[in-house]
Amino acid sequence: AQKITQTQPGMFVQEKEAVTLDCTYDTSDQSYGLFWYKQPSSGEMIFLIYQGSYDEQNATEGRYSLNFQKARKSANLVISASQLGDSAMYFCAMREVPLAAGNKLTFGGGTRVLVKP
């Protein structure tokens, strides 16, 4: 069974500073995908960044980067130069790759980020 753990229920960050959101996962699969989504107060889930288990380099997308440490089974999200609009819930998720698993996503409990001006 898979499990995604986000140990930080909430955190404050000063505008323009960087913030790291923790995510650890547990899987016996060798092939898997890790995702981060942002959920503003409006409710929609916004895809931020993806890391494949076989990707050797850490994924980056603009101000988002993923610190992937496979041996430690962690996939932390780093948001650089925080903006007020970054205030939201952030979810880490893992996708089961085997076809029989149906490409389902399992989500962590989320971390609420509040950016202070």
Partner 1 sequence: GAVVSQHPSWVICKSGTSVKIECRSLDFQATTMFWYRQFPKQSLMLMATSNEGSKATYEQGVEKDKFLINHASLTLSTLTVTSAHPEDSSFYICSARIAGANPDTQYFGPGTRLTVL
Based on the shown chain and the rule CB under 8 A, indicate whether residue 107 belongs to the binding site for partner 1: yes
Interface pattern 56-95 for partner 1 (x via CB under 8 A): -----------------------------------x---x
Q: Applying CB under 8 A, which part among 18-26, 60-68, 78-86, 102-110 lies near partner 1?
A: 102-110
How distant, in Å, are the alpha carbons of 36, 49, 65, 83, 103 from that of 21?
Answer: 10, 13, 11, 15, 24
Q: Applying CB under 8 A, which part among 13-21, 22-30, 34-42, 64-72 lies near partner 1?
A: 34-42
- 86-107 in b/e form (b: 16+ CB < 10 A) is bbbbbbbbbbbeeeeeeeeebe
